[in-house]
Amino acid sequence: LNNPFLPQASRLQPKAPPSAVSGPAHLFRLAGKCFSFVESTYKYEFCPFHNVTQHEQTFRWNAYSGILGIWHEWEIENNTFVGMWMREGDSCETKSRQTKVHLVCGKSNKLAYVSEPSTCVYSLTFETPLVCHPHSLLVYPTLTEALQRKWDEAEQLLYDELITEQGYNKVLKEIFEEAGLLKASEEKEVEKQNKKSLEFETVEKCSKKYKQLSEEIKKLKDLLSQHGIAYKGDSGE
């Protein structure tokens, strides 16, 4: 796959699939589109909810072409989406390249600026009219009613001083993870899967036992009727 004669994009090998599309519904229309920005000899491409790539614009046979991050999760501060994190990009010594995309109000959808504030951590500025409304990046309206209720309850508990600020933030993090806005840690994911399989196992066992008991009751009822004994439980069935 590192054949230099292949188009650059064909040589990219993502480490992981992107996360599901999430966040404000009016931004979902950006999924499936890509926006590029050329600076010096590099072309950067941002595909919202997918990835960020970098391509060296040169005729060298080994021109660099790589993934700077795959759509991972939102960054949330003060009930507001402040950035999109693209993680698990190509390896960079001991870590993976990652990119934070800042969404700012602009007249058109445009990748406006790229920088590398620290080694292999990139910063992109994406302009779009979709975030110009003051409420366009609020988290609360994107949640389901059940999660909004959970947030309201936590807010009330904090107001009544029944939980600490730390406890409140922990509840919020859980809400955002449940909504798919933040990625739960690997340990949490494993725990979730184990819980799921345990629940399935419990339901399956329960159904099996119920079926078994139903069959035994049927046999007993048949036995009673064979001996002409009335079964009083019929009315309660």
Residue 26's Cβ-side half-sphere holds a number of Cα atoms within 13 Å equal to 12
Does the pLDDT of residue 4 top 50, yes or no? no
When pLDDT is cut at 50, 70 and 90, the band that residue 9 belongs to is very low
pLDDT digits (tens, 9 = 90+) for 142-172: 999 999 999 999 999 999 999 999 999 999 9
pLDDT in the model for residue 221: 76
- Mind listing the domains of the chain with CATH numbers? 8-139 (2.70.130.10), 143-184 (no CATH), 194-236 (no CATH)
Query: Would you say 96 and 72 are in contact if contact means Cβ atoms under 8 Å apart?
Result: no
pLDDT digits (tens, 9 = 90+) for 61-101: 778 889 999 999 999 999 999 999 999 999 988 899 999 99
Q: Which residues contact 38 (CB under 8 A, 6 or more apart)?
A: 44, 57
pLDDT tens profile 35-53: 999 988 899 999 999 999 9
pTM over 0.85, yes/no: no
Coil, helix or strand at residue 54: strand
* Residue whose entry in the numeric block shows the structure tokens 């079926």: 211
Enter the tokens of residue 172. Answer: 């919020």
3-state helix, strand, coil in the chain (%, to 5): 40, 30, 35
| 234 pLDDT above the threshold of 60 | no
Taking the C-alpha atoms of residue 48 and residue 27, their distance in angstroms, rounded to an integer, is 9
Confidence of residue 200 (pLDDT cuts 50, 70, 90): low
How far apart CA 190 and CA 177 sit, in angstroms, is 14
pLDDT at res. 194: 59
Looking at residue 231, its pLDDT comes to 62
